[in-house]
């Protein structure tokens, strides 16, 4: 619930075979957001680069250590009344913890967190344009398939009328719980970050800092990019041929994958 109103959404792998989302909200305020789930270290880093208040319910021991080490502004549903069990969904714990942006912002004020964010913004074009207008090595990408594993896939299908990608999860339309509409994306950024398994539970380490390869999709086209992130709090930068990428105006989904080889398009 509420993903349709997020300006930026990340999708990460967690314990096999699952993925988890980090939604960034600034201008819009959905009536409800959830379910809110537990923290992982690499998810925190992308909240920090957006100077966000990191909202979660519990987490791994490594995540708690990183929250403390990095002095992250955070609200944990295990200790905060800003979230509640929403049993009308028919879901069971831990899949039924919900909140609202107003509740979170009120709690943040009570806890003494800053009310104004200080972060470096992405670069945007003044108006939406085709990649092929500027990059001769761009390619058609009307359909995008991302295979996290045999039980977990993400797909996007470009719609010429809306000039947006429509999102599918595990071959079904990805529907927002609030308005029952299919989720869409203007920009899709795929970042390659090799992973390693840390323990018998299957918790992961992702190479979130450093440099790597990626792909940028928009307007039914794609182009290969590179990315760079210097530290946990530093903004991830995207480049095409050593020039910083400019996104088309609109919302952005960022897909963190093991390898760009797991991504196919046509």
Pairwise CA distance, residues 18 & 187, whole Å: 23
The pTM of the full predicted model, rounded to 2 decimals, is: 0.96
What is the per-residue pLDDT for 201?
A: 78
Q: How far, in Å, CA of 139 to CA of 220, rounded?
A: 9
CA angle, 69 as apex, 66 and 73 as ends, to 5°?
80
How is residue 236 annotated by DSSP?
Answer: P
Length of the chain: 266
Pairwise CA distance, residues 213 & 187, whole Å: 17
User: Rounded to an integer, what is the distance from CA 207 to the centroid of its chain?
Assistant: 16
CA–CA distance, 248 with 14 (Å, rounded to integer): 29
User: What span, in angstroms and rounded, lies between the C-alpha atoms of 209 and 201?
Assistant: 24
Q: What is the DSSP-derived secondary structure letter of residue 154?
A: E
Give strand pairing partners of 206. Answer: 195
Q: Is the dihedral of CA 69, 71, 72, 78 positive or negative?
A: positive
Give the model's pLDDT for residue 115.
85
pLDDT at 233: 95
Structure token pair of residue 74: 């955070």
**pLDDT tens per residue, range 77-124:** 999 999 999 988 899 999 999 999 999 999 999 999 998 889 999 999
Residues in the chain, pLDDT under 50: none
Which residue segments constitute the domains of the chain, with CATH numbers given? 25-110 (no CATH), 131-265 (3.50.90.10)
C-alpha closest to that of 35 among 102, 99, 107, 127: 99
Share of the chain above pLDDT 70, in %: 100
| Strands 74-76 and 54-56, sheet pairing | parallel
First to last CA, the chain: 30
């Amino acid at each position: 619930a509420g993903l349709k109103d997020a300006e930026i959404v990340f999708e990460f792998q967690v314990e096999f075979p699952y993925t988890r989302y980090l939604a960034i909200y600034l201008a819009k305020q959905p009536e409800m957001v959830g379910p809110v789930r537990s923290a992982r270290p690499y998810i925190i880093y992308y909240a920090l680069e957006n100077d966000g208040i990191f909202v979660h319910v519990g987490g791994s021991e490594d995540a708690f250590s990183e929250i403390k080490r990095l002095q992250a502004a955070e609200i944990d549903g295990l200790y905060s009344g800003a979230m509640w069990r929403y049993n009308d969904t028919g879901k069971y714990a831990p899949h039924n913890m919900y909140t609202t942006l107003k509740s979170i912002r009120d709690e943040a004020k009570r806890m003494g967190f800053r009310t104004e964010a200080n972060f470096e913004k992405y670069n945007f074009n003044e108006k939406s344009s085709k990649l092929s207008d500027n990059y001769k090595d761009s390619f058609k990408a009307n359909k995008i398939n991302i295979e996290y594993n045999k039980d977990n896939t993400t797909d996007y299908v470009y719609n010429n009328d809306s000039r947006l990608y429509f999102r599918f999860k595990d071959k079904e339309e990805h529907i927002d719980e609030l308005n029952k509409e299919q989720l869409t994306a203007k920009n899709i950024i795929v970042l390659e970050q090799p992973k390693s398994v840390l323990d018998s539970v299957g918790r992961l380490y992702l190479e979130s800092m450093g440099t790597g390869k990626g792909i940028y999709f928009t307007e039914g086209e794609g182009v290969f990019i590179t990315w760079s992130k210097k530290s946990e709090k530093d903004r991830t930068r995207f480049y095409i041929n050593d020039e910083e990428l400019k996104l088309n105006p609109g919302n952005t989904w960022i897909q963190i994958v093991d390898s760009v080889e797991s991504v196919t398009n046509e």
